[in-house]
Chain A
Amino acid sequence: MSPLHLCLAFSSLLFAVGLTGALSRGSSILVLLGLELMLNAANLNFIAFWRFGPAGSPATGVVFVLFSIAVAAAEAAVGLALIISLYRNQRNIRLPEATRLKG
């Protein structure tokens, strides 16, 4: 059980937790938070491989994660704006009720 294995197990479990939370909760903010957890898990993966993986370009993993964090930030901002918009339309933020796009 190398440290890499452990790191990867850790990130997988975190991903699963985030997924479960995103799937099961009703409040859309919690779904968003679940998504953020999943992103974090992915970032963890990257850093794990950067630290323990085969030596490649020394900064690629770091750069990737930086970009990922930036994108996550943007996404969180937009998502929360969307939630506010949703709140305006249906007076609550329960995601299962937001089915206006139902085909």
Chain B
Amino acid sequence: MIPTPAQVWLIPCLPLLAAGLGAVTPRRGRRLAAAAAILGMLGALVLSGFALCGALAAPSVHAFSNFDWFALGDGAVRLGWLLDPLSALLCAMVSLVGVLIFVFSLGYMDEDPNFTRFFCFLSLFASAMLCVVLANSLLLLFIGWEVMGLASYLLIGFWFHKPAAAAAAKKAFIVTRIGDLGLLLGMVWLYSATGSLLFYDGGRGVLEAGVLGGLAAPGLAGGLAASTGIGLLVFCGAAGKSGQFPLHVWLPDAMEGPTPVSALIHAATMVAAGVFLIARMFPLFSADLALPSVPVHALTVVAGIGAITALLGAAIAVAQQDLKRVLAFSTISQLGYMMLALGVGSWVAAIFHLLTHAFFKALLFLSAGSVIHATHHEQDIRRLGGLRGPMRTTFATFAVGMMALAGVPFLFSGFWSKEAILRAASGWTVSSLPLYAGLAGVVLTAFYMTRLLCGVFGGEARSPAAAHAHESPATITVPLVVLSIGSIGLGFLGTPAWPWLQSQLTGERIPSRPLLEGGGLTVLSIVLVATGLGAGWALYARRGRATAGDKDPLEAAAPGIFAFLGARMKIDEAYAATVGRLCSLSAAFADFLDRRVWGGLVAALGKLGEGAGSLNSGADEAGINAAFDAVTRGLRRTGRAYSKAQTGEAQGYLRALAVAFVVLALLALFGGLR
């Protein structure tokens, strides 16, 4: 039953078929569309499970199956499927989380009239994500990448009649497109440098030692290697998709979509695709590390951006008032951590954190969805509160997710994965700044998650919606429970004492080390987590704001900074003032050119034509016509003159004849006329 690499295409195919079926199902066919979607994902899950077994049996092997897509010139464009521990693990994660979210959507979207369309788009997205994960060719990956972008657009703008949702969908698409441009350029460069886009191809693949050697030679201006340039361009695409600074602006707006969408796409899977891409292409990224002459390594840039993003996301999340927006910025921050891990050289830590983050972030979003569903779309935390009583299960699962995210030690998966990242950052020889940024982020993360938990579930209900909330149905709560089990259990796969995950991913036997291997660093991070939790508890749990109108304690303490952070550091405004303005100006300029200059030119040409026409007609009238008229008048005059000879008198004619005869005869006689 274990699928070979050649059969692995079935995994993305099943959700795709479900999407196709959903597309042709009418609105009333809710059960059919939902059943198709869930069955498709279940099928993918089952197959992924078997594939995982197969991949884990031989963890150091990158099993691939390549095929020709179409012929191009002498060669052909080749695509391929790849089955190794990385792709198998991610496949399994995507399918599992996907199934749980699909089941959640049954309850959440129950009252929505466009139920069928929702499941169709969800299945389309799942198919595209699985395609990205299983691709052995950068081109095939890109195809899946773009379809994911399309599905994201369709799902963010699912309630398209809301102008905010439509605008958010557009923004997401455009911003990720900017990143994708870099990715496309990187692909083109890679293809022109190596002639192939396949990752593994029996020695000829771009991630294999033979080709990498050629790419890693410093040949460009400034001592850069081709692999550095390609890496930076690919990172552009990953940064766009994974919401890194400065292309993170679309993620908070994407919360306009339904909560299952936020959970699946913007927490667990799609935004993780950027991280996955860099992890997949890590050999390319790290190829230039051995070269001393390269001024900037690609991975350094990755680490820097990741550190900035981690800190930025956490800081802004502290001042947000919308439930989902806090979680969105938290996602941005955690993605920054993953990029940071990649940058400092430990792609294994990044993938570990990706897997754990998928579970606990999806859990958090789904719990938030449960709250939103129960309070009829009340999302402002100032108007929530007191929900721990009526919504016990949701409260418990949210708490589990919150503790996993904050990094509460030992029991929760987030602690172990974050530890791995911090350990890797501390071992980075280039700079310690990412480490400090990561540590600062730990405090802030713990703080804002405590603030959120207390704001939503603690104290008393601050609005009628919160007061009338009750627990959600089983279709919503069961996935929450399953995800919380994952949030706890997954951590144990990667502890230093049992580095199972790391061994599987790298294919090497990593020896078991003591649990608190990090020593001082681990202790420091535990202390920081405790600090954050304590500060949040102190500010938000004890005070227990009574009404919705009360100010946030932080806002009272530092209103300026709070407002600045609340306005997302005004980055959107900065974009509007610079890039937006530039675009408007260019458009205005182009309009001016079009209307005045080219339009004027065309009008002038038209006038020229008109002038020529009137000139022509004038010449015709005055010149040719007049000439003709004059000629005809002359002819008429001549004719009239000649016709005077026609007197009508027969005898006159005869007279003329006689005279002519005489003249002729005289000529004949005397003039020699013969």
In the complex they form, do A and B come into direct contact, defined as C-beta atoms under 8 angstroms apart? yes
Binding site for B on A (CB under 8 A): 19, 22-24, 31, 95-96, 98-103
Q: Can you give 30 A-B contacts (C-beta < 8 A)?
A: A19-B654, A19-B658, A22-B651, A22-B654, A23-B651, A23-B654, A23-B655, A23-B658, A24-B651, A31-B650, A31-B651, A95-B649, A95-B650, A95-B651, A96-B649, A96-B651, A98-B649, A98-B650, A99-B648, A99-B649, A100-B648, A101-B646, A101-B648, A102-B646, A102-B647, A102-B648, A103-B642, A103-B644, A103-B645, A103-B648
B644, B646, B650, B658, most chain A CB atoms within 10 A: B650
Q: In the complex, how many angstroms separate the beta carbon of B428 from the nearest chain A beta carbon?
A: 120
Chain B residues with CB under 8 A of A99: 647-649
Binding site for A on B (CB under 8 A): 642-651, 654-655, 658
Q: In the complex, how many angstroms separate the beta carbon of A27 from the nearest chain B beta carbon?
A: 11
Chain A residues with CB under 8 A of B645: 103
- How far is B646's CA from A99's CA once the two chains are assembled, in angstroms? 9
Chain B residues with CB under 8 A of A98: 648-650
Using known A-B contacts A19-B658, A23-B655, A23-B658, determine if residue A103 contacts B646 with beta carbons closer than 8 Å: yes
Besides A22-B654, A102-B646, 11 more A-B contacts (Cβ < 8 Å) are A19-B654, A23-B655, A31-B650, A95-B650, A96-B651, A99-B647, A99-B648, A100-B648, A102-B648, A103-B643, A103-B644
- How far is B658's CA from A95's CA once the two chains are assembled, in angstroms? 18
Chain A residues with CB under 8 A of B655: 23
Chain B residues with CB under 8 A of A100: 648
Q: In the complex, how many angstroms separate the beta carbon of A4 from the nearest chain B beta carbon?
A: 19
Q: In the complex, how many angstroms separate the beta carbon of A59 from the nearest chain B beta carbon?
A: 29
Chain A residues with CB under 8 A of B651: 22-24, 31, 95-96
- How far is B651's CA from A98's CA once the two chains are assembled, in angstroms? 10
Q: In the complex, how many angstroms separate the beta carbon of A18 from the nearest chain B beta carbon?
A: 11
Chain A residues with CB under 8 A of B658: 19, 23
Chain B residues with CB under 8 A of A19: 654, 658
Q: In the complex, how many angstroms separate the beta carbon of B338 from the nearest chain A beta carbon?
A: 112
- Please give me the 8 A-B residue pairs with the lowest Cβ-Cβ distance, nearest first: A99-B648, A103-B646, A103-B643, A102-B648, A101-B648, A23-B655, A23-B651, A96-B649
Q: In the complex, how many angstroms separate the beta carbon of B649 from the nearest chain A beta carbon?
A: 6
- How far is B649's CA from A70's CA once the two chains are assembled, in angstroms? 27
- How far is B649's CA from A102's CA once the two chains are assembled, in angstroms? 8
Q: In the complex, how many angstroms separate the beta carbon of B279 from the nearest chain A beta carbon?
A: 111
Chain B residues with CB under 8 A of A96: 649, 651
Q: In the complex, how many angstroms separate the beta carbon of B377 from the nearest chain A beta carbon?
A: 105
- How far is B154's CA from A69's CA once the two chains are assembled, in angstroms? 115
Chain A residues with CB under 8 A of B642: 103
Residue of B nearest to A31 (CB): B651
Residue of A nearest to B658 (CB): A19
Q: In the complex, how many angstroms separate the beta carbon of B23 from the nearest chain A beta carbon?
A: 92
- How far is B654's CA from A96's CA once the two chains are assembled, in angstroms? 12
- How far is B653's CA from A22's CA once the two chains are assembled, in angstroms? 11
- How far is B644's CA from A54's CA once the two chains are assembled, in angstroms? 47
